[in-house]
Structures are given as C-alpha cells and as structure tokens.
Structure 1
Amino acid sequence: MARDGIDLSELDEFTDRLIQSSKEAKKTQRKFLQQQGNKLKRKTLAQMRLSEVNELTGNYKSHIKRGKVWKREDGAQAIRVYSNAPHAHLIEDGHKQLVNPGKGKGNGHGVIPGRGIGHKPKDGKKDYVEGRKVFLNAYKDMAPEYGRACEEAIDEMIRKI
C-alpha cells in the first residue's frame, strides 16, 4: 500500500486488535455480570437479615438464587437474583392475614374440611402483613456500587485495547 503514498498497516493492525478485543469482551462481560450477580445475592441475604425475616419463613433463605446471564430483547445482557420459594412473593409484597380455623378446639392448626382455608382476624387484630421488600432494598443498596464497577470494567477493557 505504500506505492500510493498511504500506509494503512497500522490501521489494519488496530482493527485486528479491535476485533480480537470484541471477542474477549463477550467473555469479560459475562464474567463481570456473574460476579455482580453474586454480590447482589449476598446483599439480598444481608438485607433479609436486616429486615428481620425470621426463621419461621420456611426455606425462604435457601431459595434465593442468582440466575444465568441472558440477552434481553434490546440486545443488552442481564442477570437476576430471585427466589423460587412458593411463598416468596408474600414475604416480599405483603399479604392479608388469615387465621386458620383449626380442628375444633385447640391451638388452631389444621383445616376443617369444607370450611375453606381461614377467616380474617377479629377483635381489632392486624389483618394485613406489610411486605419486607428484601429484593428492592438490596437493589437500591447495590445500584451506586454497580455503576462504579461498570465504569471500572469499561476502563479496563479500553486499556487492554
């Protein structure tokens, strides 16, 4: 190419490095998102302890998981932290308090067949349990830290080019 007076060898070398770095960037992005997902999971578990979700909530703690990295419809990669416990939405969002009618006299355990699941509490007792918003609060705590980590990761990828 030097015969025309323009040498594009450096430009070709730079484009080759850009192509190679874009292939490496996919792996780096995936690893970065997995690490951030793990951090969000730890923050969620810490938030669960702070919001005083007690041990009587079944397997709520053990069902909090980090999902896989996936591609959204707009082409961006994403990861999520979720709970696959069947009662997680009740703890997160709140619910109406129902009292189990029980089997005759006694401590109120069990369901009398044909009577349904329960009834609302009487005598001025609280009839709605507020949600703990564990995942929302963990997300809010993680957002600024995640922004800084993204900036650092982008700067690191640019330095490698």
Structure 2
Amino acid sequence: MASVELDFSELSEFNASMLKMVEQDMPNEAKKLMQRAGNALRRDIRTAYKQKTKRKTGNMLRGLSRGRAYIYQGTEYQVRVKNTAPHAHLIEYGHKAVGHAPRKRFNGKYVKGRHIAGKAAKDFNRKFADMADKFVDDLLERGIG
C-alpha cells in the first residue's frame, strides 16, 4: 500500500493570516468568536463538574461565569471563564482538611485537587481550533478574504 504525505502547513498559515486579518479589519467578528468560545468552554467545564463531583449542591455550577472578550497585550482577544463559588479553588487545587469536633479523624489530611476546570480547558484546545477553522470557512463563504 502506498503512503501519502500531506503538508497542511500552508493551510494553517493561511488560517492564521486570515484570523489576523479579521482581528484587525473586523474586530466585532473576532470578539463574537471569542464570546462563543467562552460560552462553549463554560458548558464543557459545567459538564465536567457534573461528571466528576459527588455532591450536587449546585453552587459549583452557579458560580461558573464567562467574562467579556478583551484585547490582551494589544494583539489578541482573550476571554476568561472563572468559578466564583467560595469553595471552587479547594476542589480545583486541593486543600488541607480541617475537621470539627465530631470529625477529628480528618484533621491534617491533605485532599488532592481534581483540576477539573484545567483538564476541561486543555481538552477545549482542539474544539477551539475546530471553531476557528469553521469561522474562517464561514468568512470565505461570505466572500471576505
């Protein structure tokens, strides 16, 4: 069986140049893309929280929020997805368990962090690349470029 080697570097360079052109010439379109990406990431993190936590109190899910897209260091758009629940950082990064009178057996034990949001963000990189490719395709279909 013959093997075929394909070089997509030119296409990825074209996509990068297209995205850069859109950022400069049509900032609203790039901003909308980032807002949609932030919403998608928030949905992915919410799903991951539902799958990987035992207690379903709802505070972790209600605390998830997406910020506005903003220009970072003058060259690129960025959007933040954060959890404002008061205990979110404990589940994400871990903590030292401090028990009260009836639960003294837990005093001093370290509870490992689950890194749920971090893992979901890593998995989202591939999804964002697909979103960017689709965005470029839509722009080409509309005749921009």
Q: TM-score, normalised by structure 2?
A: 0.72
Identify the residue that residue 55 of structure 1 maps to in structure 2: 56
Secondary structure in structure 2 of the residue aligned to 1:132: coil
Q: Deviations over 1:64-107 (max 9, x none)?
A: 11111011115211001101122211110010111113xxxxx5
Secondary structure in structure 2 of the residue aligned to 1:55: coil
Aligned: 1:84 with 2:68: no
- Structure showing the higher helix proportion among its residues: 2
Moved over 2 A (4+): 119-122, 154-159
Shift of residue 53, structure 1, vs aligned partner: 4.4
Q: 1: CA distance between counterparts of 2:144 and 2:95?
A: 51
Equivalent of 1:121 in 94, 106, 113: 106
Identify the residue that residue 72 of structure 1 maps to in structure 2: 72
Q: 1: CA distance between counterparts of 2:55 and 2:78?
A: 31
**Structure 1 residues 71 and 120 mapped into 2: Cα distance closer, same or farther (>3 Å)?**
farther
Percent identical residues: 25
Identify the residue that residue 144 of structure 2 maps to in structure 1: 160
Kept after mapping to 2: 8 A contact 1:40/1:142? yes
Shift of residue 22, structure 1, vs aligned partner: 5.2
Q: 2: CA distance between counterparts of 1:131 and 1:22?
A: 40
Shift of residue 147, structure 1, vs aligned partner: 0.8
How many residues in Structure 1 have an aligned counterpart in Structure 2? 123
Kept after mapping to 1: 8 A contact 2:49/2:60? no
Kept after mapping to 1: 8 A contact 2:67/2:80? yes
Shift of residue 131, structure 1, vs aligned partner: 1.2
In the alignment, structure 2 segments of 5+ residues that lack a partner are: 1-20
Bigger mean CA offset, 58-67 vs 148-157? 148-157
Aligned: 1:145 with 2:127: yes
Q: How does 1:21-36 map to 2 (within 5 A)?
A: 23=25, 25-36=26-37
Secondary structure in structure 2 of the residue aligned to 1:77: strand
What amino acid does structure 2 have at the position aligned with 1:92? E
**Structure 1 residues 74 and 27 mapped into 2: Cα distance closer, same or farther (>3 Å)?**
closer
Identify the residue that residue 95 of structure 2 maps to in structure 1: 95
In the alignment, structure 1 segments of 5+ residues that lack a partner are: 1-18, 102-106, 109-118
Secondary structure in structure 1 of the residue aligned to 2:111: strand
Q: Deviations over 1:4-52 (max 9, x none)?
A: xxxxxxxxxxxxxxx9x954x2111111111111110000000001212
